Structure 1
Amino acid sequence: MSSDAEILLDPIPRQKYWYTRIVAPISTVVFVPTDLSPGSPLWIEGVPKESNIPAGKHFTDIPPPGSILLEHNPKDQLVALFGDIVATRLKTRGVLGAIANGRGRDFVSSDKVCDENFTMWCKGLSTVGTSMEAKPWAVDVPVKIGKVEVNPGDIMVADEGERGIAVIPRDKLKKIVEMLAVQKKADDGLLNDVRNGQSMADAIKNWPEHYSVQPH
Structure 2
Amino acid sequence: MASPTDKPPFYSSCDVADALLTLEVSNAGYIPDIHLWSPQYKAGYTRIFGPAYTVKMVSVKDTESPKPDQHFVDAVPEGSVVCISQPADKVNAVWGGLMTTRAQVRGALGVVVDGRIRDLNEQREAGFPVFAKTTSIMGAGSFTRPTTLNQPITMQPNPNHPAVTIHPGDYIVADADGVVVIPKDMLARVEEQCKKSTAVDDQCMEALREGASIAATFKKYRG
Partner of 1:101: 114
**Out of 14, 29, 40, which is 1:6 matched to?**
29
Give yes or no for the alignment of 1:70 onto 2:80. Answer: no
Measured in 1, the distance between the counterparts of 2:166 and 2:100 equals 22
Measured in 2, the distance between the counterparts of 1:141 and 1:182 equals 33
Give 1:18 shift.
Answer: 4.1
Partner of 2:71: 58
Give 1:2 shift.
Answer: 2.5
Letter in 2 for 1:149: T
Measured in 2, the distance between the counterparts of 1:134 and 1:14 equals 22
Measured in 2, the distance between the counterparts of 1:144 and 1:206 equals 40
Measured in 2, the distance between the counterparts of 1:134 and 1:156 equals 24
- Whichever of the two has the greater Rg, that structure is 1
Q: CA-to-partner distance for each residue in 1:143-185, whole Å, 9 max, x for gaps?
A: 121321111100001113xx31111000111111110001001
Give 1:10 shift.
Answer: 1.3
Q: CA-to-partner distance for each residue in 1:4-50, whole Å, 9 max, x for gaps?
A: 34111111212537431111000000011001121xxxxxxxxxx43
Aligned residues: 191
Measured in 2, the distance between the counterparts of 1:50 and 1:102 equals 21
Give yes or no for the alignment of 1:30 onto 2:56. Answer: yes
Partner of 1:198: 212
**Out of 162, 166, 181, which is 1:150 matched to?**
166
Measured in 1, the distance between the counterparts of 2:115 and 2:48 equals 20
Partner of 2:100: 87
What are the ranges of 5 or more consecutive residues in structure 2 without an aligned counterpart?
Answer: 1-20, 157-162
Q: Percent identity?
A: 30
- Greater Cα shift, 7-16 or 174-183: 7-16
Letter in 1 for 2:63: S
- Greater Cα shift, 4-13 or 101-110: 4-13
Letter in 2 for 1:158: A
Measured in 2, the distance between the counterparts of 1:141 and 1:86 equals 20
- Greater Cα shift, 105-114 or 64-73: 105-114
Q: 3-state SS of the aligned residue for 2:151?
A: coil
Measured in 2, the distance between the counterparts of 1:109 and 1:159 equals 19
For 1:105-124, list aligned pairs within 5 A. Answer: 105-114=118-127, 118-124=128-134
Letter in 1 for 2:53: S
Measured in 1, the distance between the counterparts of 2:116 and 2:213 equals 44
Partner of 2:151: 141
Relative to the length of structure 2, the TM-score reads: 0.81
Measured in 2, the distance between the counterparts of 1:180 and 1:132 equals 44
Q: CA-to-partner distance for each residue in 1:91-132, whole Å, 9 max, x for gaps?
A: 111111111110000111121112xxx411110110000112
Q: What RMSD over aligned residues (CA atoms) do the two structures have, in Å?
A: 1.6
Measured in 1, the distance between the counterparts of 2:95 and 2:126 equals 12
Shift of the 190–95 alpha-carbon distance from structure 1 to 2, 3 Å rule, reads same
Letter in 2 for 1:165: V
What are the ranges of 5 or more consecutive residues in structure 1 without an aligned counterpart?
Answer: 39-48, 210-216
Q: 3-state SS of the aligned residue for 1:35?
A: coil
Give 1:199 shift.
Answer: 1.7
